[in-house]
Structure 1
Amino acid sequence: MDNQNVSWLPHLKGAVPTAGYGNRLSTYLIALEAWRRGIGVTFFALDNIQNKLLIRYSLKNNNSEHIFDSSNGDLTSEEANFISENKDVTKEYLSTAKVPVPEGKRFAPTTENVEIINYAATLGYPVVIKPRSEKTGKGVFANISNERSFKEILLHVRNELNYKDVIVEKHIKGEEYRILMIKGEILGAVNRVPANIIGDGVSSVEELITQKNDSKKKNPNLSKNLIDIDKEVLKLIEDEGYELNSILDKGKRLFLRNKSNISMGGDPIDVTEKLTPEIKEIAIKAFNAIPNLAFCGLDMIISPSGNTGTVIEINTKPALGPHVFPVDGYARDVISPIVDYYFPETRNVERSTLYFDFNQVISPLKKRLAKEVIVRPISAGKLYAKEFIISGEVKNSKYKNWIKRQVLQNGCHGFIKDSKGDKIILVVAGNSQNDIDNLKTNFHQNPDNTIVNEVIENEYSGNIKVGFQIKSLPKTKIINRLEEKLNSEIRKKKNYEQKLKDEKKEKEKAKIKLLEYKSLLVEVRNQNKKIIEEKNIIQSKYHSLRRSRSWRYTKPIRSVLKFIDIKR
């Protein structure tokens, strides 16, 4: 990220497996917090007509059980879910409660485009167009500044993206905040900044994008939301007078997207402390306007003064990652209050420092080998952990496997990895100090006659994956460079393929226009042919008349009539 001074929550450091990154991050964070408190966790797959992999999970403690879909638990009513999923209905409830909302109107699929265009003109530009029911910013276009652009975007949204049911609103100037709330209490707020890069005076625009993406990969919330160099990005770079190989001045920020969505490469910045009393009041009022709402992410456009805001959306399944893993500001523990709300009896339970392998847990569901996976429960509470630096002839696999068996037989957890020289590092965690001490006495008494020269013992406070791992050596710099080069080539290939697709679309459009022109030309030719045929018929009749006897016999009369003025 641009700011490397963000301190993430200690109890989550190194505790989020890659399978928990991205879209499933909220699922994993809530399940992990509950599991660490001793609450039972079960993941299951839902049957559906499209045969998509829909993973849900249940949390159970004693006689209390709740079902979750990502961050959305069953204490939010179906009514509240329906209201939030339909933006026009949300606005009705908010307006009734005197909550500021953008001026706008919904247009049904049967509405003609001309009616929508006329309405946008009455609102006055700039305007916003968005689908009535859609998430993650798909189909949303903001700050449309003129009628020509609006017509193009309207056709794109309704015809190409196939969002027939749309809402048109007045564009509100200001910063967009996502405010996370539970039962009217504000848990955190982030400002979602559109995808951007900051110059260092040395790197090109393309290199800065690569560097930004590399930093995103290290963030569990952003690792799958990289900045793709697509048509929109290239246009914005060009509009600012740059190219991919241009050097960006030090400190110069270049925005690469118009929309602030994190899924499109945006950056979440914690702004919880910046919320004014007026903004908090509007947020609480908006939350209370939706009946039986338990938890939500509320989107608000904040005025430049920061003293007023306009609510644009309420989401009952908001992403938690932006608050837990921001790129700037403070990381917020928004997970604990959610588990507290659903299981208040566990509020004061000390969480374990273990975490489970999310990849392994959901693998049977992903492979369609099972419809339900129960995560083996653990005892909540503090674990006793130690780090042992063992030196000698200890880097052989037999000794490491022997250590692994000893750790697991004693009901402990941990990992072992190679260190510099003749050393290995062993980290072990158990429920009591005795568990650790019993293991320590065995280090020298292995059955393979491995020579152990010295054992140094240190305290360990990090998070440990359940079970035991024999960690392999880290990748070398050469492998990393090769991977970076490969990723760069993949990106270039994607850009080239996108360029080909765009050119193909343009060719298809040109082909359609050419066919239209050919059709019009054939029609004009047919009309000309018809006119010529009619002309020839008339001329033939005229010449026949001139050759007739009646024409010759009436010639004297016609000559006299020239000089006679007949009045009626």
Structure 2
Amino acid sequence: MDGCSNYNSLEVRRGCRSKKQARDKFAAGNIPHAQGTIFFNPLTAVKFAKAHGFPLVIKPNVSGFSRGSHFPIRNYKELWRAMFLAKLWWPTTVVEQYLQGKNYRVVITKTGVISVLQRYPAFVNGDGVNTISSLIETENAVREKMGLYPCNNPISQGQQTISYLAKQGLTLTSVPDNEQQVELFYRISLAPGGVVETIKRDLIPSYNHELFAKVLNLFDAEILGIDVIMEQGIEHDAREQKLIFLEVNSRPYLKMHNYPRYGEADDLSGQLGLISVATNQQADTF
């Protein structure tokens, strides 16, 4: 995919393909991660829910772009629906515990953390005057003016958004209160209109930097995109909060780091130039 990096060897990329591979590595390195299991039979996920409770997340057992992921799942009805939809993407599926918190993509190389993005689902902030439809139009115009397209996407006013609003008792003609944040889709991804914010690296505690470096070394990688949820935020020491590492991406989508909706874009060119690229790495092979 355009914008994905090709710095890791084929062996490293093969070791990062599935959610299970990441979870096994996290467990081996004593890295905080969600308890989960892979299943083909949906009853396995139901048993997991009975044992661990809700909320949960359902996702295909393959890394990349959060396609087919569903969260937070709060009851058995939502669980069955999520399992059906996830299997449209991939036959083997993962069920995991879910943590409500702040979602980050951390890009790290052997020189250290080079960029951190906080990721948000599509949303608008109310002003007490305009409808959700009007707020969406305004937000899309801001994104266009900022030159975020086509890396980012406009927020849709189609059935997907309408259905998600209906679950909150809202419609496109609803007028949110001033400063009321209205989420327009659950998935934290650019495809359905999500956005990212650049987080300044000097705000991150030294222990967190060490933890991310430990993950990089576990996978013996030159570069990783690490997905992590932190209850309080990445600016707080990981030892003093709940957190779960979700997965790693051996070919992180670096292009999105150039197009933050909030904050200044990180210039990654200098750090990327220091990476030792393996020869004969079959860079185009997934």
Contact kept in structure 2, 1:200 and 1:251, CA below 8 Å: yes
Structure 1 CA distance for aligned equivalents of residues 37 and 215 of structure 2: 19
Count of residue correspondences: 269
Aligned to 1:321: 255
Identity of aligned residues (%): 22
Contact kept in structure 2, 1:204 and 1:248, CA below 8 Å: yes
Following TM superposition, the consecutive aligned residue runs of length 4 or more in structure 1 with deviations greater than 6 angstroms are none
Aligned to 1:231: 159
Structure 2 CA distance for aligned equivalents of residues 204 and 130 of structure 1: 33
Show structure 1 runs of 5+ residues with no match.
1-22, 27-69, 344-568
1:83 maps to 2:15: yes
Structure 1 CA distance for aligned equivalents of residues 140 and 148 of structure 2: 12
Aligned to 1:257: 185
Shift in alpha-carbon separation, 1:231–1:86, aligned structure 2, 3 A: same
Letter in 2 for 1:330: E
**Offset from partner CA, 1:415-471 (integer Å, 9 cap, x none):** xxxxxxxxxxxxxxxxxxxxxxxxxxxxxxxxxxxxxxxxxxxxxxxxxxxxxxxxx
Contact kept in structure 2, 1:220 and 1:321, CA below 8 Å: no
Normalised by the size of structure 1, how large is the TM-score?
0.45
Aligned to 2:141: 214
Show structure 2 runs of 5+ residues with no match.
278-286
Contact kept in structure 2, 1:221 and 1:321, CA below 8 Å: no
Residue correspondence of structure 1 range 166-177 to structure 2 within 5 A = 166-177=93-104
1:310 maps to 2:244: yes
Which of structures 1 and 2 has the bigger CA Rg? 1
Aligned to 1:100: 32
Aligned to 1:183: 110
**Offset from partner CA, 1:302-322 (integer Å, 9 cap, x none):** 122632232101111212233
Contact kept in structure 2, 1:176 and 1:301, CA below 8 Å: yes
Aligned to 1:72: 6
Aligned to 2:225: 297
Structure 1 CA distance for aligned equivalents of residues 110 and 147 of structure 2: 27
**Offset from partner CA, 1:319-365 (integer Å, 9 cap, x none):** 2233222122232111321123359xxxxxxxxxxxxxxxxxxxxxx
1:199 maps to 2:126: yes
SS of the residue corresponding to residue 312 of structure 1 reads: strand
Aligned to 2:50: 121
**Offset from partner CA, 1:167-201 (integer Å, 9 cap, x none):** 11111221111001112510010100110011233
**Offset from partner CA, 1:366-388 (integer Å, 9 cap, x none):** xxxxxxxxxxxxxxxxxxxxxxx
Contact kept in structure 1, 2:63 and 2:247, CA below 8 Å: no
Deviation at 1:221, TM superposition (A): 4.5
Aligned to 1:268: 196
Shift in alpha-carbon separation, 1:162–1:236, aligned structure 2, 3 A: closer
Letter in 1 for 2:81: E
Aligned to 1:135: 64
SS of the residue corresponding to residue 300 of structure 1 reads: strand
Aligned to 1:145: 74
Larger RCO: 1 or 2 (CA < 8 Å, sep 6+): 2
Contact kept in structure 2, 1:195 and 1:264, CA below 8 Å: yes
Structure 1 CA distance for aligned equivalents of residues 12 and 251 of structure 2: 11
**Offset from partner CA, 1:522-554 (integer Å, 9 cap, x none):** xxxxxxxxxxxxxxxxxxxxxxxxxxxxxxxxx
Deviation at 1:267, TM superposition (A): 1.4
Normalised by the size of structure 2, how large is the TM-score?
0.86
